[in-house]
Amino acid sequence: SGAYKALGIVQAALGAAGVLYALFGVAMSAFVMSSTTSKIYGTAALILLYGRAAVNVLTGALLVVTGIGVFRAKRWARWSGLAYAAISLFETFGGTALNWMFVMPRTLGTSGMPHEFQMIAVATTAVSVLVACILPTVTLVALLSRRARTELDQ
């Protein structure tokens, strides 16, 4: 149907953008990384940064594949979409929790930033998590529906 074709287009486009964004982020992090920055972040935070970027490339690629499959009404698109949604939601919540435990205490604690700005950084992160959960949640709901089972059965 038209709704699934539209969902497929959105998924493929946002997946491709996500892959490019993650790769750009890794490249910029590697380029900008200086001895001062690496001292602030520490090894655990750097591993987290690159690990999350790798997962973001994976979820972006899965989303592209899912979008193409949903657009073409392929049965396998349901499974790739469910895998995308599960990995994406786990990475969003788990990665954010790890970020709050390892990265934010080091960066906020050493930045000399006023307490009010630190609270804004935490609130902004919380809102970002909510926004990051929208597409995986929509994908889950759309692909778990009875309608998806009948329309994506080719």
| Structure confidence by residue, pLDDT tens digits, 37-83 | 566 666 777 778 888 888 999 999 999 999 999 999 999 999 999 99
Distance, CA of 14 to CA of 52 (rounded, Å): 17
Ramachandran assignment for 34, one of left (phi > 0), alpha (psi -120 to 50 degrees), beta (any other): beta
- Structure tokens, 127: 């809102």
The pLDDT score that the predictor gives to residue 36 is 57
- Structure tokens, 102: 């390892």
Looking at the predicted structure, is the pLDDT value of residue 23 above 80? yes
Considering only residues 88 and 118, tell me which one the structure prediction assigns the higher pLDDT: 88
